[in-house]
Structure 1
Amino acid sequence: MTNRTTWQRLILSASSSTLTALLLCASVPTQASAPTSGFSAKTPNTDVASSSAYVSHFWDALVLEPQTAWSQLRKSFAWQDQRLSAQAQARVDKWIEHYRASPENIATITQRATPWLAFITQQVDARNLPGEIALIPFIESSFDPSARSHRGAAGLWQFMPGTGDALGLVRNGHYDGRLDVITSTQAALDYIEMQADQWYDGNLPLSLAAYNAGAGTVNRAVRNAQSQGKSGHYWNLQLPNETMQYVPKLHAIAAIVADPERYNVNLPEIEAEPAFAKVQLSHSLTLSEASRLLDVEQSALAELNPGLLNGAIDPRSAQTLLVPDEASHAMIAKLSQGESQSAQVAEPIPDTYRVERGDNLSTIAARHNLTQQHIMRLNAIERPDTLQPGQLLTLSDS
């Protein structure tokens, strides 16, 4: 949880009358601070000087450093003061040295994080999760929301297709929710919290290991460790090598972000607020049309919306378009209200649909604005993975 100093709390919560009262209190020396001898009520110059000093100290206390995404992130760090065992710390130090050896890579990755870091930090903080969790995309995708692995994982959080489907991330020929930073971030944090609660009594390092290797792999490792009289904590498990390095990497990059000067690393300036605005749409819209209406570069819209595979948003798959924050707020409001030449009436739902190669129940449901359960009920489908190409599905009760 983000920690604020006492003065920050006063600033955020105090009314003008409260601040006035604080000023009055600050201008009067306390009894403890008054001289024990030689004090006279007839020394107004001394009183004025003393009062001025107290007021000056009060306002000095109100001078805060400008907030950035990095400063907000550091406030929410929770692991930096933890004492690790010598063996665990050695694993972290190994990765600190690895990252320090290539500062240009850190510069590239953190620069790529510029549009996303403030938003992700806010989402992590809202859940009272350690701020270190916001740096998982550094490890997973180098903060590239369009990243794809040779194994099929995609997006900032590198979801495999099956995992994304299970978490409700829509995936079809027009849209891939794994590439949508808004929806994939929510899904990733849901997944981390869910596994921590379901399997590990809230233990986040074990949940992160399961995020990387799967809960089955981690649970077996925990049982093996416990059978040998060990605690079953992450640091004494025997896991696949990538998973053994996963949490140490996160500790290492967080340590560098916490004190970049110590490690001779320069971090890019990133504003404390997200660099984009959200536009909720109920109608289809191409990025070309949005670019013209908002007077922003189409390439900027494409970078903010990598989940739109065909350069257009279809509300049957996604309803949120991200636009640069400098776009006209008036036009953003008009788009949200559906005032666009491209507004279309949604197509009626057909009575039937023939399954094509590559289809799955999730994509079919999203394409026709239906739920998977609705299609399964109409077609007496017990398992969604039994669909076959050429199969005719009933979509409507009529």
Structure 2
Amino acid sequence: MPVPVLLVRGWPLLAVAAMLSIVPEAHAQRVSARDKAKVEALDQRMTAAEKRYNAALVLVNNADPKGTNEADAALEDMEDVISACVAQKGCVVSNLLPTYKRLLKSNADSQQDNEDGTAIADGTLLEADPDHVGPLAADVPEAARAAALLNDKRHAFDTMVEYNPAVQAGIRRWLTDMRPALLTSYENYQNLRAVMWPEWEKRGLPEALLFGIMAKESNGRVHASSRAGAAGLMQFMPATGRRFGLGPDGTGFDTRFDARSAAEASATYLNERMRELNNSVELSLAGYNGGEGRAIRVFRQYPGQGFWTDSVYNQFPGETKDYVPMVIAAAWIYLHPQQYGVEFPKISAQPATIRLAKSTTIYELTICLGSAGTRDGYMRALRNLNPRYEADGWIPAGTTINATTRIAGLYNRFCVSGPRADLARTLITADLNAAIVRPTAVSYTGNVAVGSVVPVAQAQAMPAVTPVAPVAVPAAKPKAKPARSYKVGKGETLGRIAARFQCDVPTLARANGLKAPAYSLRQGQSIKLQGCDK
């Protein structure tokens, strides 16, 4: 669906804004209280029109046919405000120009989304990220190198690395058996671009390199972790993460899983390597993967020699020899997709937030949102944008979560109420145990053999027994079951453990001092199975 173009009576809005900017302003006019009230009303109308236009863009991005009509109506409102301002004594037209500037940018961003699926990030923090802290503010490299590195549009990155057979072999792998991983990495990165790329941009590092590292390290999965202990999109080890402000934040959350924090720390870390290693991308990547100590030792031992020199190359382990060309290969494809016949998926990733109308889980949202406009649905995007929440953990009503404009539109249409919302709730609360039929006690009928029968006469000759009143015996109090312990396995969540042992989740959480909504657990942790039936 085409995005509405900002026009005023047939003129492009930018041209009108330029024309209006030369209209003499009315600062010198004496303005009455009545005129001031009229000017203030015009300002309010312009603000309302801007809000209406932005809301219409959300509808347009979600293929809602109402979007275009709403946008046109909002633009007509603005035209009327402009005309009224020109005629109104005391109305300063230049005061309205900031609104035009914002709308022009919004219009350009939306057109860019329609053309190539890439949202233009302005670096603004998403509202639902109150826990993010930025301890690494003073790491901006020298301007000359920053200008060269940032020039991805002319592919200056190409001159900074060697396009040799090792990189070509890496490209071959990304384009064959690893092509699905490459496309998945691209989709994941586009949804995270608004929070990751600004951290690299202001530190003078190329976006293609950010994508290459992320694709090789985690495929863009925020919660990725390795057996060695590395975690997050950029796979920081615990000790290295602590050096750059990453790790447990006191609430049970590890900030290595936060996309913005990981981007900030990785850019700072890579800049350290670049400064130590004569701005060599290959050696810096080798240090990122194989250890900074090894990289600086080899660099000093073989001064002036590049990574591909055999004496240097053979100092690194096999994993690093594979890692360096694979990162460069992914970055190269990111810059030259058409050359290799790669058509990256179009992703609508304009940042937005959602205030939940009712309690929900990411699993439930994934079901009710559907998969319109995406190949695999929105579960990965929601998990990446909201790393503090487990997929099956309940998020309270009123919570603000990170999303995109497309997800926000689908949420309002399908997840607040209606058949799909009801179906999602039914599926998410379905209990496997309820499907198991447990028959009740069975009564038998028919002939039953009882052995020898006592003659009636003998029975009558038996002495009578005086009935005795029953004595009430107090019922024994059931003994409280001792709470068992359970060791948390890899990837297990409190919700899964509760389902396995038929536990009440709040009781289980209180018994183990776990805080909602994350209920964070770690592998190998021993917990008490309090409030469990099995």
TM-score, length basis structure 2:
0.40
Deviation digits for residues 199-231 of structure 1, max 9, x if unmatched? 2344443322211111111012112323xxxx1
Against the structure 1 CA distance between its residues 83 and 142, is the aligned structure 2 distance closer, same or farther, given a 3 Å change threshold?
A: closer
Look up the match of 1:36. none
Root-mean-square deviation over aligned CA pairs? 4.4
Which one of the candidate residues 195, 198, 213 is aligned to 1:122?
198
Against the structure 1 CA distance between its residues 91 and 304, is the aligned structure 2 distance closer, same or farther, given a 3 Å change threshold?
A: same
Look up the match of 1:161. 238
Against the structure 1 CA distance between its residues 305 and 113, is the aligned structure 2 distance closer, same or farther, given a 3 Å change threshold?
A: same
Look up the match of 2:168. 93
Equivalent position amino acid for 1:123 in 2:
E
8 A contact 2:277–2:283 mirrored in 1: yes
Look up the match of 1:305. 386
8 A contact 2:185–2:219 mirrored in 1: yes
Which one of the candidate residues 330, 334, 339 is aligned to 1:262?
339
Question: Whose RCO is larger (CA < 8 A, sep 6+)?
Answer: 1
Look up the match of 2:139. none
Matched, 1:248 2:325: yes
Task: Give the Cα–Cα distance (whole angstroms) in 2 for the partners of residues 15 and 127 of structure 1.
Answer: 37
Against the structure 1 CA distance between its residues 131 and 303, is the aligned structure 2 distance closer, same or farther, given a 3 Å change threshold?
A: closer
Task: Give the Cα–Cα distance (whole angstroms) in 2 for the partners of residues 17 and 77 of structure 1.
Answer: 34
Matched, 1:178 2:227: no
Deviation digits for residues 77-125 of structure 1, max 9, x if unmatched? 43224573xxx61111111111222233323332333411354333322
8 A contact 1:70–1:257 mirrored in 2: no
Task: Tell me by how many angstroms 1:184 deviates.
Answer: 1.3
Against the structure 1 CA distance between its residues 71 and 250, is the aligned structure 2 distance closer, same or farther, given a 3 Å change threshold?
A: farther
Task: Tell me by how many angstroms 1:139 deviates.
Answer: 0.8
Against the structure 1 CA distance between its residues 274 and 184, is the aligned structure 2 distance closer, same or farther, given a 3 Å change threshold?
A: farther
Task: Give the Cα–Cα distance (whole angstroms) in 2 for the partners of residues 82 and 133 of structure 1.
Answer: 11
Look up the match of 2:402. 322
Structure with larger Rg: 2
Task: Tell me by how many angstroms 1:174 deviates.
Answer: 1.9
Equivalent position amino acid for 1:179 in 2:
F
Aligned length: 258
8 A contact 2:382–2:402 mirrored in 1: yes
- Greater CA drift, 165-174 or 134-143: 165-174
Per the alignment, in what secondary structure is the counterpart of residue 402 of structure 2? Answer: strand
8 A contact 1:301–1:324 mirrored in 2: no
Task: Give the Cα–Cα distance (whole angstroms) in 2 for the partners of residues 174 and 113 of structure 1.
Answer: 26
Equivalent position amino acid for 1:94 in 2:
A
Alignment of 1:1-398 (within 5 A): 16-17=17-18, 66=115, 68-69=117-118, 75=153, 77-82=155-160, 84=162, 89-102=164-177, 103-135=179-211, 136-171=213-248, 174-197=252-275, 199-226=276-303, 231-236=304-309, 237-238=312-313, 239-271=316-348, 274-277=350-353, 288=359, 301-308=382-389, 311=393, 322-325=402-405, 327=408
Task: Tell me by how many angstroms 1:301 deviates.
Answer: 4.6
Task: Give the Cα–Cα distance (whole angstroms) in 2 for the partners of residues 142 and 305 of structure 1.
Answer: 17
Task: Give the Cα–Cα distance (whole angstroms) in 2 for the partners of residues 255 and 71 of structure 1.
Answer: 21
The runs of 4+ residues in structure 1 deviating greater than 6 Å are 18-21, 70-73
Task: Tell me by how many angstroms 1:178 deviates.
Answer: 0.8
Task: Give the Cα–Cα distance (whole angstroms) in 2 for the partners of residues 185 and 210 of structure 1.
Answer: 17
Deviation digits for residues 311-352 of structure 1, max 9, x if unmatched? 589xxxxxx953444549xx9xxxxxxxxxxxxxxxxxxxxx
Give % identity: 28
Task: Tell me by how many angstroms 1:159 deviates.
Answer: 0.8
Task: Tell me by how many angstroms 1:142 deviates.
Answer: 1.1
User: Which structure 2 segments of 5+ residues have no match?
Assistant: 1-11, 23-107, 122-149, 370-377, 413-534
Against the structure 1 CA distance between its residues 312 and 215, is the aligned structure 2 distance closer, same or farther, given a 3 Å change threshold?
A: farther
Against the structure 1 CA distance between its residues 139 and 159, is the aligned structure 2 distance closer, same or farther, given a 3 Å change threshold?
A: same
